[in-house]
Structure 1
Amino acid sequence: MTGPQRADDGVQFRLSCAADRDALHGIWDRAVRATHGFLSPAHHAEISRMLHRDYLGRAELLVAVRAIAAREVLLGFMGMTGRHIDALFIDPAASGCGLGRRFVAQARRRGVPLTVDVNEQNTGALGFYLHLGFVRVGRSPCDGDGRPYPILHLREPPGSR
């Protein structure tokens, strides 16, 4: 893929299917390696196995794709529970072209306010959500599985969008 392009440059959104599992896992792995340098190698491997086995291919995910040379290239994905963004990962090769903002716009179709949890050490993601108007409403000292990675709980203020 060439450098960042406009988010409306051929990008389409669709629901994931089981056949997307490996490509989605690759997106997750590349994105996490680029943004989660704080994860220990053992925790990265543990989360990777769990994600591939239990989440990807089973969860209903929104996927961003672009047709390139007569084939579909996956660019990123988002998972939600109700109005909570559970996961939002963009392939680093596609970052910087507005896909994150477009995913959040898609999420808002479910209603607002949205909520999201962000690793405290992932300053890029935190800055992204704060820029979109989310505010911090809480903090947990560990992630949902008890690993030592603090989680910030964010929410859009009521009536903000």
Structure 2
Amino acid sequence: MKNSDRTVRLRRALPSDAEAAAGVWLRSFAAALPGVVRPRSDDEVRDYFRHVLIPVRETWVAEAAGEDVVGVMVLEGEELDQLYLAPEWRGHGIGDRFVALAKERSPGGLALWTFQVNAPAHRFYERHGFAAVRWTDGSGNEEREPDVRYVWRP
């Protein structure tokens, strides 16, 4: 059975999702951004999901039938703070569903940062109506990686 044949449900993250959501983030980051140096260890990322993202922020997961968490999205007001999919689940419409949900949750607009080297993310967000409004040298992020600010307004 192909991934796209399985039911995927978006729901608010529970404390019990922290480990799986962090695992999706770690695998996705490694696959999509192999040249970007992470400033945090795997354990620090897991702690951040467990102690900050899930209990404090508006965190959503994509849960596949018969599997664990296959995607994660974090909203903070009008900020789309995180959107990561398990590498084998890219291209199956889950990211599209997450963006639609983010727009529904923040109908006045959204903004996000993505790294300049992440051309697939640029194409994805532009396809969803986001416009690049600012490019930086990366001095303002932990990774010290040049990034791009994207904004969507209805």
Q: Is the TM-score greater than 0.5?
A: yes
Contact in 2 for aligned 1:19/1:57 (Cα 8 Å): no
Equivalent residue number for residue 12 of structure 1: 9
Are 2:118 and 1:119 aligned? no
TM-score (norm 2): 0.85
Shift of 1:97: 0.4
Supply the AA of the counterpart residue of 2:101: Q
Equivalent residue number for residue 109 of structure 1: 104
Distance in 1 between residues matched to 2:14 and 2:78, nearest whole Å? 21
CA gap of 1:112–1:39, structure 2 versus 1, over 3 A, is: same
Equivalenced residues, count: 149
Structure with the largest fraction of helix: 2
Contact in 1 for aligned 2:113/2:148 (Cα 8 Å): yes
Distance in 2 between residues matched to 1:47 and 1:126, nearest whole Å? 26
User: Out of 24, 28, 37, which is 2:25 matched to?
Assistant: 28
Moved over 4 A (4+): none
Equivalent residue number for residue 134 of structure 2: 138
The CA RMSD measured in Å over matched residues stands at 2.0
Contact in 2 for aligned 1:28/1:90 (Cα 8 Å): yes
Per-residue CA distance 1:59-85 (angstroms, 9 max, x = gap): 2310111221xxx52110100111210
1:112 partner SS: coil
Are 2:150 and 1:150 aligned? no
Percent sequence identity is: 26
Supply the AA of the counterpart residue of 1:63: V
Contact in 2 for aligned 1:18/1:58 (Cα 8 Å): no
1:104 partner SS: helix
Equivalent residue number for residue 71 of structure 2: 76
Are 2:89 and 1:91 aligned? no
Per-residue CA distance 1:107-140 (angstroms, 9 max, x = gap): 0112132111101111111111011111111122
- Tell me, which stretches of 5 or more residues in structure 1 are unaligned? none
TM-score (norm 1): 0.82
